[in-house]
Every structure is written in structure tokens, then in C-alpha cells.
A and B are shown apart, each in its own frame.
Chain A
Amino acid sequence: MPSIILQDCGLDLPIYGTINRSLKGAVMSTATGGRIASASRNVTVVQALKGINLSIVSGDRVGIMGHNGAGKTTLLRLIAGIYEPNSGQIRVNGKVSSFINLGQGMDHEATGAENILLCGLMFGLGFDEVQELTPSIGEFSGLGDFLNMPVRTYSSGMLMRLIFSIVTSVPAEILVMDEWISVGDAEFTAQAGERLDHLVNKASILVLASHDEALIRRLCNRIVFLEHGEIVRIEEIAASSTPEATLQ
């Protein structure tokens, strides 16, 4: 059974400037030890998350809300396994498919089709499985012949369509998504919303960060409100507003 458990998780993100990014700087500061040098040795640390306790079980659809910089993406990265907590424990059971800045992870010189293959492999599929999925990904993304063009020629909306189609096509038990809806046109947004409705029934767990409260209320059964890296409130949404109901 897929599940995510976070126990008292804290995460400090170090912010490096130019001096503490440099080996020469690090060596010089140990050698000289003057005031400026020793001050510059300290790395600024942002406490991105603190005391996060969260237990997500199979069937949960969790929405994460909060201001810019509240720690939404950091929390998603923690769940996706990209970051590891500095304190506390996390356990994620199940296959995670994550959609966090995936556009940046793509090879922009390669074609859309090549990127579908690459992403499929990265999410643990075999060549055959990706080949099987490719037509449906191409169809849903609506990119048509553009799939044979380099991704760098895509508009941000097209790129988003491609990524969304890939991530939602790969079978996963846990789907982690970040701000996915921001650049799509109205038509695609509607299609995507519909697809996500179906998907949340298939994927056992959905974790979604967004600023769009209406969307989150429609898709999720729990909303986690983050503020300054802490959970301020968890709201359980009654069963009547779950996707099955909205589809009627």
C-alpha cells in the first residue's frame, strides 16, 4: 500500500554566495582568519521546512497551499526524494512520479519524442513500455508533428502540455505535481483537469501544490496550508466534493 509518512521533518537550505562557493575562498579564510574572512565563511541557511508531521495514505489527494516561498516546492521535493530532511524522518512507500520543474530537466535540443523516451526511462519504464505510451502521449498533448521538433522551439504552453501528458501517462502510485496549471490555455486546462480527475482515482496518492484554491478544492480531500515552512492548518474536505461527485 502506497503511503507517505513525515515525522517532525525539518529542512535547512544553504544559500551559497560567491566566496563560500570558492575553494580558494575557503582556504584563504582558514589561513587569514580576519574578521571579513571569517564572516564570509558562514553560509546563510534558510529554514525552509520545520516540524512537518504528515501522514498520507492510499487514496489521499493532498493539496498544498501557501504563499510564494512558503515551502511548497521544497516539501514536494522532500516527498519526491530529491531532498533529504536535516532532521526527522520520512518514509515514502510506492513508485513516485514527480513533476517539479521537469521542463528544466528536459533536453531542449532534443525532439519532443526523444524527451518522451528519456522521461519514460527516467521514471523507470522500459523501451517497449515507452513506445506503447508514446502515441497516447502525443495525442493528449495535441502536439502532433511538433513532437519531431526540438523542444527549444516549443512555447511554454506547449512544453507544459508535453510534460503534463508524460507525467500523467506514466503509471505511478504517487503523483507529485507543482503549479502545473499555470501556463496552459483554457481548452487544455479543462482537458487536464478532467484527466487529473480520472487519474486521482488511478494513482493512489496525489500531492499537488498550487495557488488555485478552486482547483485544489475540486481535486483534493485534504488541504495542507504552509506558512514560513510550517504547517499551520490541515483541512479535511468532506466526501461530497471529491472528483467522483464533480464529474456527475
Chain B
Amino acid sequence: MSDDRSAIKPVSQWRMAIDDLVEGLKAHRVWMMLAKMDIRQRYRRSVIGPFWITITMVIWILAIGPLYSHLLGIGSEEFIPYLAMGIITWGLISGVLLDGAGAFVSAENLVRSVKLPYTVHILRALQRNLIIFLHNLLAFVPFMLFLGVRPEWSWLMAIPGVVLILLAAIPTAFLLGTLSARYRDLQQMIASIVQLAFFITPIFWKAELLRDRMYLADYNPFQILLEGVRGPIVSGVPGAIVYFKIAVLLGLLYLIAAPFFVRYRRRLAFWV
């Protein structure tokens, strides 16, 4: 009997978590398809489909832009591109945060019927938000044309900015998604915090207005991630310090999320 027992060697939880991640990345067709279906489902019965997202965004910017540019006394040709990129990028940040937190709960039925790497559910949520972000990005075009903003090569530096947001979203989603599966009131708390963060992050006001309290923006993780995308397009590629801060943030997130996921991964199927 003891021989039998030694026949099966227990697989370490770290090993299984890493396998989950690797298998999840390999199953890119699955999460891309799921994300595509999510988007399609949301706009299935509307004629213009996901371009509703774009139109909503244009209306938002049209409504808030001139008002705040007047309130803050900043010229609208300077303020509106800043605001537009800020809101569009904020949509991505808040989207991956909220959807990431709900990634496992909303995939409840799938988790309990098919064996899939948990990473698939996370990447599905991120991919869905990336698609929405790309639609939102189109909302920037009419303002560019209207205000005569010319694209520059340095705008391409916004792409690594988006990648960095997604890289930060992965550990965050693992962490919050797992916790939200266990504690069902957490999602509401996160929603409130995200809403609050929208107001304390320089999006429809400028960080310079903080004057001697600039540190409130300098150390706001949302602002740092936002600058990685908004900066290259409206005010020039941010300095190395911003990228350094993002790197520190990423390091911290992975450091917290990795052992957490390794420990609670096997409990997830019971929690959802």
C-alpha cells in the first residue's frame, strides 16, 4: 500500500498556479472568443453595435469639455484633448479593475462546468475592456479633426502605456477577483472606490492646479498609469520617473498577487 502511495507525487501549488497561467495564455483563442461574444451580446440587437460606446464617449467629452475648460480657465484646444484622452484611458483602467474583480463571479457557470485555467477568465475580462477601449479611442478622432491636432510619432509611446495598464491589471484581477468570489460585497466596495478615484485623479482637472500638493497626483497610482497613455498624446512622453513608478507598482502587485493566487487557486471552484 505504501508503494502505491508514493506512486502519486503531490504536485506543488506553485507548479499548478504557473501551469494555470501558461495554459491560460496558450488558450488565447478561447478568451478572445469569449470576449468577442461578450461584446457582441451586449450590442446584439442594436444597429450600430459597439459604436454606441464611441458615441457615448463623444457626448461625454462634448458635455464636460467646454464646461470644465471654462471653469478652469484653460483654452479648450488645450483642455479638450487632455480631457478626452484622460476619460478614454480612465475607461480602460476602471473597466479592467471592475471587470477583473468580477471575472470569476461572472464566469461562475463556466468555472463549474468546464475545466479551464483560471487565467482564461481574467484575460477574457481584460480583452473585453481592451476592445471597448479601442472603440472609445475612435471618439478622439472627431476632436482631433475639429481642433486640428496632428498625430506625431511620439504618440506611439502610448502603446507601451496601454500594455503597462494591462500588465498591472492581471495581478490586480487575480487578487480582487478571488477575494470578490469569496466576499460578495467586495465588488460594491470596489465600485465605490473606483468612483471616488475618478474624482481625486486629475482627469477633468489638471495636476498643476494642486500647486504645493502635487504629491497627491505624483503618488496616485491611477494618475501614474494614466500618464503612460495620456502623456505621449497630449503633453509629450512622460519622464523616466513615471515609468519607474509604474515598474515599482507592477512589482508590488505581482509580489502580493502571486502567493495569494497560489494559495487560494484551488478554493476558487468552491467560492464562485
Contact = CB atoms under 8 A, between A and B. Distances in A.
A5 B41 contact: no
A101 B109 contact: yes
Contacts of A5: 7-8
Nearest to B4: A7
A81 B270 CA distance: 13
Interface in B173-231: 179, 182-186, 189
21 contacts: A7-B5, A13-B270, A22-B183, A22-B184, A23-B185, A26-B183, A81-B115, A82-B269, A98-B113, A100-B113, A101-B113, A102-B113, A104-B109, A104-B112, A105-B114, A109-B44, A110-B37, A122-B30, A122-B116, A124-B27, A126-B29
Q: Is the interface of A mostly helix, strand, loop or mixed?
A: mixed
Size range of the chain A interface in the assembly:
35 or more
B135 to A, nearest CB: 19
Contacts of B27: 121, 124
Given A23-B183, A98-B115, 14 more contacts: A5-B7, A7-B4, A16-B271, A22-B183, A23-B189, A82-B113, A84-B266, A84-B269, A104-B112, A107-B37, A110-B41, A117-B33, A121-B29, A122-B30
Interface in A85-127: 89-91, 96, 98, 100-102, 104-105, 107, 109-110, 114, 117-118, 121-124, 126-127
Contacts of A175: none
Contacts of B10: 89
A80 interface: yes
Contact of A114 (B7, B37, B116, B186): B37
A41 interface: no
B110 interface: yes
B242 interface: no
A100 B115 CA distance: 10
Q: Which 7 A-B pairs have the closest CB atoms?
A: A23-B183, A105-B113, A104-B109, A89-B8, A81-B115, A101-B113, A109-B41
